[in-house]
Amino acid sequence: MFKQQFLHLYVTQSLVTIPMFTPIVVALMVASGNPTPTVGSHAPEFTAPSTSGELSLKSLRGKWVVLYFYPKAFTPGCTAESCSLRDGFDGLRTLDAVVIGVSTDDLDTQRKFKEKYALPFELVADSDKRVVKAYDVSGMLGFAKRRTFIIDPDGIIRHIIEDVDTGKHAEQVRQILETLRAKKDTSR
C-alpha cells in the first residue's frame, strides 16, 4: 500500500503540513516565474499601452515613480484612490514624482476613467496582466491587488505600500516620498 509522505514547514510561525511532492511543484513555479519585487530590488521593467501611448518604465529614469496598482476602474475604492492622487498631484510633482496607475482594465476603459475623473497622470492598461505578474500583485478573479511601489530615480524600489488608505493615498505617498528624498539627500 502507498504511504503518503509529508513535509512539515514553519510558515510565518505556523506549522504547515504538505505532501512531499509539493516542494517540487513550488520549485518549478518559482524557477519559471519572476522573483517577487522587494524594497531594495530593481523595479521590473515594462512597456505597456497607456492612456498616452506606449509607456516604458525605463523612460522615467531620473524621476521618482509612484506606481500604483488598483483592481478595477470606476469602483468606489479605486475611484477614491485615483482622485486622492489627482487632488495631491501638484504636491507630488514638486517632489519630482511621476504617478502611474495600473489595472487590468482595457485601454478604452482606462481612457474613460481618466477623462471622467480628470486624472492628470497616465493609466496603464494591463489587460494581458504582464505588469501585474511582474510586480506579483495578482489578486482574486484576475484583478490587481491594491498596492503602490515607490521607485527611486535609479529604478530601485524604495517603498511598497500594502495598506493603502484610498481616501488619503496622496498624503501617504507624499509623506513617504519626503522621507525617502531626505534620506537620499543626506547619503550624498
- What is the enclosing helix (H) or strand (E) of 87? helix 76-87
Q: Which of 57, 66, 67, 78 is catalytic?
A: 78
Q: Print burial letters for 132-159: b (CB count within 10 Å at least 16), e (below 16).
A: bebbebeeeeebbbbbbbbbbeebebbb
Q: Which residues contact 52 (CB under 8 A, 6 or more apart)?
A: 122
78 is catalytic: yes
Q: Which residues contact 13 (CB under 8 A, 6 or more apart)?
A: none
Going by C-alpha positions, the residue among 84, 78, 132 that lies closest to residue 109 is 78
Burial class (CB in 10 A: 0-12, 13-18, 19+), 115: exposed
- What is the enclosing helix (H) or strand (E) of 55? strand 53-56
SS3 170: helix
- Distance separating alpha carbons of residues 10 and 50, to the nearest angstrom: 42
Which residues participate in catalysis according to the annotation? 78
